[in-house]
Chain A
Amino acid sequence: MGYVAIKGGGIAIKGSLEALEALRAAEGEQGVPLSLSAIENQLRLLTSRIVSEGGLYHPRLAALAIKQMQGDTLEAAFALRACRSTKPRLLATPVQETSRMRVIRRISSAFKDIPGGQMLGPTYDYALRLMRIDLSDEAPEVFRTIAAKFMGETPAGNLPETFPKVVDALRNEGLLPQAPARAIEPFDITREPLIFPIPRSAILASMARAETGSLLALAYSNMRGYGDVHPTIAELRVGYLPVFLPHPITGEEIEAGEVLITECEVVAMYENSDNKSKPVFTLGYGACFGHNETKAISMAILDRALQKGMKEGPANPSEDPEFVVLHIDGVDSMGFANHYKMPHYVTFQSDMDRLRTTQAKAESKQGNEK
């Protein structure tokens, strides 16, 4: 009898990868390999999700990850993160002004008449979720004219390049506290370990690359009653943010490119303050790479809930920084859930040893009692 327990791992892995690859190309002769450009554009919200959860703004690599992982969001974001591990950090980005954003959409549910006006932009919010059967068999000629037609029919108008921030207006009216001082060095979660209690910037950075569903679930628990943020969206904006970096020689800030981001600010009711200062509304902030409105809103609500928890002590899971921050990372949580598929022969052998010993003791006890 040969060595039984575990054998042939290398061959098994090779076969498994070949089977995966075969399924990717299962369409056979009718198949057309997905182009990265098609994924990046036609599945732009999926790409958005991956750049955000992957914590690396590289839509083309994100598209590649989506293709390679056959559409699994957790795996694709994971591949992007692993790619990031091979890159050194060359410099720290200075604070970027989101008021400079070239917006494609900005709304407020607090005021009808916000400075600069509401711009509904591209959203499914008011689209009827009826199946568009015509999309199932789209003529390429028609498809290729849609974007050009839209651009041609939209009047150039005199839209401003940028829009003022709603929260700035609220601050000017004294309804919101002034923005915290810039002097605070932001916490880099990719280079420093989290040791609790952690600063708000570490919490925000963790949430910015968190798994969307995990953030939503925790934020939703707060909305439903395990918490009481009761948010109003002061502003939600989506658009292209110019990124300014210091010039390597002169140190002067220059525009290095732009990133698509979603930003959300929620305003909540004021807190009880024991000091004599004027009561003001409180703010929750959310921002992430890509066009991910659900994520940005969830993040803003959780930010508000966590600030409350840090001040008054957590009364609900969504107000506890440790509970939230350590359970929202997709790479961590999916990895650990999947590791249970690995062999646990040795530990199970130990478990059996303990169970048999306690069973034997229980039996002999019962025997003695009879």
Chain B
Amino acid sequence: MDNQNTLINEVTDRDYRFGFVTDIETDSIPKGLSEEVVRIISAKKDEPEFMLEFRLKAYRKWLTMKMPDWAQLKIPEIDYQDIIYYAAPRQQAKYESLDEVDPELLSTFAKLGIPLEEQKMLAGVAVDAVMDSVSVKTTFKENLAELGIIFCSFSEAVKHHPDLVQKYLGMVVPPNDNFYAALNCAVFSDGSFVYIPKGVRCPMELSTYFRINAKNTGQFERTLIIADNDSYVSYLEGCTAPMRDENQLHAAVVEIIALDRAEVKYSTVQNWYPGNKEGIGGIYNFVTKRGLCKGESSKIYWNQVETGSAITWKYPSCILAGDNSVAEFNSVALTNNYQQADTGTKMIHLGKNTKSTIVSKGISAGHSSNSYRGLVRVAAKAENARNYSQCDSLLLGEHCGAHTFPYIEVGNQNSIVEHEATTSKIGEDQIFYCNQRGISTQDAIGMIVNGYAREVINKLPMEFAVEAQKLLQISLEGSVG
């Protein structure tokens, strides 16, 4: 037992690996939020009138809202007037080749293990690298453009495809949805926009890396993915952030719209700075992610591996509006030290014969707190709806907490909804068994945790599965080979 505790302590004592600050000049506006600031952001981005109206409407709504307090989280007071709402890397020239990109930025990505050029060559991944708020470089655009796929920064989309943006922006997450979504709607700086035309199967994984860089900058990303009839896309989102002592706010919004028979796979590996061992610093990750299975037989998959952030408040959800639509949520959430996570999903069944699956694996260590909060609602008209939910929690160390709060609301008789959850620590018998076979306790814990998370990691695209496994190992370093 002592041995195990030492190991657990080693695990919990790990430092954050990706803590560094890139020195790039940023173009910031003063701290604080007001109608004026919203107008400045909109003006700086040269936006059409409908965007300004959208932002102002959201801002006015936000003023009337309160921070949600129902989550199993202790969130320190956040002064929304003490945040810079817009920061963009100063060099805003449009690059045609990688040589023109700020070398320092490139080396930052290299440190993160995402060399643009390498990925471009080898992995066949188009990377839309978002540094702070403005999209710096988009690769593979031409290849995608040939198929009619639009993959660009949000600001570009507003400029070049205003009709699409106007039609779909706010359709899934309206400005009045919740406190953080309203804030995002008012001040969002940039993000990614994806449109897959009818019948097109996107030939590569689309990916974007978010980084929070400029000090005291809240990052408000907005992603909009539209998959037209019979199309397919797999989208990757990965996050790492440099070390900070002050807490930073990240309130992103992701909207996915899947039309008839379209399929969207959205995978996330989240590794924001979680704060130090005493729980100081770290990112506040308050994200609203929601997909709408609008068309019949459409499919949306959320896959996520969450290891970072001081506080996570995140519920990637699906509205199954189309008949025969399918949604899945697969998640591994690991919390360590003083991290807090309240995450889960909502599956709203509206259409007939809709199916959803939820698999959530929580791992808590140190003094952290990890909650699953989910809602499965079957509307009266959603006949033959089917849901299966499983949420398991694994506890490492005696000071951590694992909580589950599922809500199940079933409004008709021919639907089947199942939920099950277990909470346990790593079994001493399992470790003993491994020891007996000559596997050290250290390796055994690693094996057990990886085996525990495998079900979800297997759902991730290849590139991410490797990274995710690495992340789990890093987070549990000292115990995992």
Do A and B come from the same complex? no
B residues contacting A by CB (< 8 A) are none
